[in-house]
Structure 1
Amino acid sequence: MRFQFDNSYARLPKPFYARVEPQPVNQPHGLQFNVDLARRLGLDPEQLATPEAVELWSGNRLPDGAEPLAMAYAGHQFGAFVPQLGDGRAILLGEIIAPDGTRFDIQLKGSGRTPFSRSGDGRACLGPVLREYLLGEAMHALGIPTTRGLAAVATGEPVYRESPLPGAVLTRVARSHVRVGTFEYFRARQDLASLQRLADYVIERHDPALAHSDHPYSDLLVRVAERQAELIAAWLSVGFIHGVMNTDNMSIAGETIDYGPCAFMDSYDPTTVFSSIDYRGRYAYGNQARIAHWNLSSLAMSLRPLMEQSSDQAAAQITAALDRYQQAFDQGWLQRFGRKLGLSQAREEDRALINDFLDMLYQQHADFTNSFRALGHAPEDQGAALTREVPAPECAPWLERWQARLAEEALPKTELMQRMHQVNPAVIPRNHRVEQALDAAVDDGDLEPFKQLLAILQAPWEEHEANAAWRAPPRPHEQVQYTFCGT
């Protein structure tokens, strides 16, 4: 397995990271390899699962050109600032440039202690590694920006949490691992030279056109805000709940990162929380857009010292950037949910139609995913599929309003249905199915349920008999109330 490394982050000064090598494991063996991602990166898929490659994915060997390091960052965790976090169980091997010119980080997660591990062992359990691989691929198939797993390998060693658990290492690929918390780290230390170096690095890597801007740092804030607005709107459109939207889990590149206590809603309820440690619902489904704004405000305060204008000018630029987030999110939400209703270009007055549909789902405890999918059959079946999710008396008045609005689209029914089925998934990673697959892998060493679910999730728009069981919401005894971060 040959990597053409070009490690730009390793060329930054010492305060940005700690040099550290992965800790070897005893008996690594491969669990899952991502052929599609390997091709995207320009790697040889046939080399992914060789014994030599498994030694790389486990951290037992370093590929030529790697410059392993643990990145430094801080973060607001549930609103409380922690001045030093950093990669406590992840090691960045380096960066490669894909055939299309895109730069990607290659990182090992669960590869041993680093100077940022605090009291942790730096290891990862099998369950969370498989969860991150599975959820990343599901999000990718849904067209949502995300980090992805290139390989998952078992270490052959136990990891000790409440009880001994099998250990594993995930090879994670990202556009970069710079976070809001990376900026907060240098701002908290009043290290303005490093703060500016970081901002310039991010501009060069992610937004090179800003290098010629008169106001590059406020413009950078705008670009990060726009990416985050697009991402949160995409999350909400499929019922995804991240679970730990701390500033150290918010990627500057606009990708979904760190799949800990994340989950997808079954019954629609904007107050839904799955994280076992989110006692007050800070990161509930309906709060995610607001929390992204809060996180961006923290980024703005970190960038503020780099804005050389007067205080009033800097405040105006920050306000404009945060306003831009709200505008981009509002428009992104409207267009995404409008398309879910079959509207090619949603208008401002369509918000009421969308919100009334969501309110109806909430009042009837209806399944979010299946209700939108059923709506895609309504132009042909007059709403019969929807009435299996929402009782006919409750949905009839809304259906009449919706069909009147659809009449303005002037599209044939077959094209309308096809368009709706391309944005309303038939299959999502149902929480009970995910837990069943992970339990089989962890408790029984059986990866078949995981592989079967992974294959189903890689075709989320398809609706047929073979995936009917995976489309069904959980029965009462199957419902998952809580998920865990897995650290």
Structure 2
Amino acid sequence: MTEEKTILEAGWNLDNSYACLPQSFFTSQNPTPVRSPKLIILNNPLAISLGLKVEELQSSDGVAMLAGNKIPEGASPLAQAYAGYQYGNFTMLGDGRAALLGEQITPQGERFDIQLKGSGRTPYSRGGDGRAALGPMLREYIISEAMYALGIPTTRSLAVVTTGESIIRETEQPGAILTRVASSHLRVGTFQYVSQWRSDEELKILADYTLQRHFPECKDNEDRYLCLLKEVIKRQAQLVAKWQLVGFVHGVMNTDNVTISGETIDYGPCAFMDTYDPGTVFSSIDMYGRYAYGNQPNITAWNLATFAEALLPLLHEKEEEAVDIAQDAIADYADLYKDNWLKGMRGKLGIFNEEPEDEKLIANLLSMMQKYRADYTNTFRALTFDKPEDTSLFGNEDFTKWYEHWKARLSRQQEGKDSFQELMRSFNPAVIPRNHRVEEALEAAVKGGDYSVMERLLDVLACPYVYSDKQDDYAALPRKSERRYRTFCGT
């Protein structure tokens, strides 16, 4: 089987601005064709928003494109080069099993990367087979779409196809390819690669490209590279605060998984926390809790510091002054994160205005939740309905006192009960992708070929803030046997 270009009436409107950058930034390469592609799931609303035609994507030619067997007109497939700090150790990386087809220009004039994940070996594969298994690709589809529905910036999933080929991951598993959509795949690791191994001129080209693509308001600024640094800091502070507010644990916050756009990327060992515990870790290889739930804000600060380090040659011609400029910018992160998180926590508790004692009120609640092993999502869900008896905190003297203080705090607001309850509903999801529900869906799909379980789960997760009756079963806690949950890298 050979690659071929095909003109599809699917609405593809591809540009290739990244392919116009220095060739050292990427390797041009078509995806490796697969034996027998089959469409498993297509994200119809996303396809339509991109200007694509659902029926054409479902056709044999459309599925062949989603598998990498055919290349749409206008595409210029490539694998991106980047580096990264992985668990604190710097190394050369790159797209080892992904191909960027190009950038879809939507009818609204927006630009989105279209990437095939699991599309075959590249020069950056580092001994890997370049392929992906069905289970992890469906998992990324579920979690990324759940994150989107929760209002958290994220890469998204357009489709999953099976390849008709098996791959080996401890056991033999069906192969699959995910079509990922992103504002871009520019990463902190992209800048680290260019800063470490390429010229300052190429670093400037990358930074200017990034400004044009993501921060056009900065490109005419006299200190445009400082503006770039500050904007990335701001977006990451906002993003990680949103993770913390819903109990999301990314699991592998290496710098190659930190996007410049501020979107969540790479849903490998991620999961959502049930019982509130800042030390929550799901990744099987995170032995020391580097990327634990409670560490995510500080790790983000560390990652941003490494980004600032990569930008030093652009911040000032004198290294010492460049370091001072970078340190001043990074120093803003803590307050930016705290402001975003406090605003979100006030929202979760129905608080519209600010009072000095709010932080203590929030801290006391979280401390009790940890002490009594309360479920994070359902505790706030119960408070939203003003049903404290539905929490594991109920009946404890310290919670009774806290509840009285909280009610007194709400009474000092001009807004009435309906208003603060509406605010709480907008900040507290009634349902999240519970780990046992995700695994249930994946097992039915991969082992039994039954995708109905996943479809029902996706339907519920699409509207996490509606508080409908059909969400009740999906808000239920896992059985004890399901609570020790582990996730794995290399997905």
Same fold flag (TM > 0.5): yes
Out of 435, 441, 451, the position equivalent to 1:437 is 441
Partner of 1:43: 52
Partner of 2:3: none
Number of aligned positions between the proteins = 482
Structure 1 residue 216 corresponds to structure 2 residue 224 = yes
Structure 1 residue 308 corresponds to structure 2 residue 316 = yes
Distance 1:137 1:293 in 2: 26
Matches within 5 A, 1:338-349: 338-349=346-357
Partner of 2:381: 373
Structure 1 residue 449 corresponds to structure 2 residue 453 = yes
Structure 1: tracts of 5 or more residues without a match: none
Distance 2:261 2:438 in 1: 27
1:384-434 Cα deviation digits (max 9, x unpaired): 334x55434331100111111101222222232222112101100001111
Partner of 2:480: 476
1:300-341 Cα deviation digits (max 9, x unpaired): 110001123434432232122112222210100000011000
Out of 110, 120, 126, the position equivalent to 2:128 is 120
Distance 1:445 1:106 in 2: 27
SS in 2 for 1:158: strand
Structure 2 letter corresponding to 1:393: E
Distance 2:23 2:320 in 1: 34
* Pair 1:348–1:15, CA change in 2 (3 A): farther
Distance 2:219 2:420 in 1: 43
Distance 1:66 1:54 in 2: 16
SS in 1 for 2:219: helix
* Conserved 8 A contact 2:274-2:375: yes
Structure 2 letter corresponding to 1:385: D
Out of 381, 401, 404, the position equivalent to 1:400 is 404
Distance 1:197 1:345 in 2: 44
TM-score (norm 2): 0.96
Structure 2: tracts of 5 or more residues without a match: 1-9
Q: How far does residue 174 in structure 1 lie from its aligned partner after superposition?
A: 0.1
SS in 1 for 2:359: helix
Choose 314-323 or 122-131, whichever is displaced more. Answer: 314-323
Q: How far does residue 451 in structure 1 lie from its aligned partner after superposition?
A: 1.0
Out of 359, 371, 374, the position equivalent to 2:367 is 359
Out of 385, 388, 392, the position equivalent to 2:390 is 385
Out of 422, 425, 429, the position equivalent to 1:425 is 429
Structure 1 residue 32 corresponds to structure 2 residue 41 = yes
Structure 1 residue 196 corresponds to structure 2 residue 204 = yes
Structure 1 letter corresponding to 2:398: E
1:140-163 Cα deviation digits (max 9, x unpaired): 000000000011111111011111
Choose 244-253 or 311-320, whichever is displaced more. Answer: 311-320
* Conserved 8 A contact 1:125-1:486: no
* Conserved 8 A contact 1:135-1:429: yes
Structure 1 letter corresponding to 2:459: A
Distance 1:394 1:426 in 2: 25
Structure 1 residue 234 corresponds to structure 2 residue 238 = no
Out of 229, 246, 253, the position equivalent to 2:254 is 246
Out of 465, 469, 472, the position equivalent to 1:465 is 469
* Conserved 8 A contact 1:361-1:390: no
1:436-463 Cα deviation digits (max 9, x unpaired): 1111111112111111111111111133
Partner of 1:323: 331
1:24-79 Cα deviation digits (max 9, x unpaired): 11111111111111122122233232222111101110000000000000000000
* Conserved 8 A contact 1:141-1:460: yes
Distance 2:280 2:179 in 1: 31
Distance 1:74 1:195 in 2: 14
Out of 59, 74, 92, the position equivalent to 1:65 is 74
Partner of 2:4: none
Choose 252-261 or 188-197, whichever is displaced more. Answer: 188-197
Distance 1:347 1:93 in 2: 51
Distance 2:245 2:360 in 1: 16
Out of 414, 417, 440, the position equivalent to 1:413 is 417
* Pair 1:22–1:462, CA change in 2 (3 A): same
Distance 1:240 1:212 in 2: 37
1:224-274 Cα deviation digits (max 9, x unpaired): 000000000000000000000000000000000000000000000000000
Matches within 5 A, 1:87-126: 87-126=95-134
Structure 1 letter corresponding to 2:218: L
Distance 1:125 1:346 in 2: 48
SS in 1 for 2:90: strand
Partner of 2:5: none
Distance 1:249 1:423 in 2: 26
Out of 177, 183, 200, the position equivalent to 2:191 is 183
Distance 2:244 2:129 in 1: 35
Partner of 2:24: 15
Choose 120-129 or 390-399, whichever is displaced more. Answer: 390-399
Distance 1:267 1:390 in 2: 16
* Conserved 8 A contact 1:364-1:390: no
Q: How far does residue 190 in structure 1 lie from its aligned partner after superposition?
A: 4.6
Structure 2 letter corresponding to 1:466: K
SS in 2 for 1:213: coil
* Conserved 8 A contact 2:315-2:322: yes
* Pair 1:346–1:103, CA change in 2 (3 A): farther
Distance 2:393 2:36 in 1: 49
Distance 1:216 1:402 in 2: 45
1:334-378 Cα deviation digits (max 9, x unpaired): 000110000123444311111111111000000000001111122
SS in 1 for 2:94: coil
Structure 1 letter corresponding to 2:129: D
* Conserved 8 A contact 2:352-2:420: no
Partner of 2:90: 81
Q: How far does residue 177 in structure 1 lie from its aligned partner after superposition?
A: 0.1
1:182-215 Cα deviation digits (max 9, x unpaired): 0110111152121111111101110112111121
Q: How far does residue 105 in structure 1 lie from its aligned partner after superposition?
A: 0.2
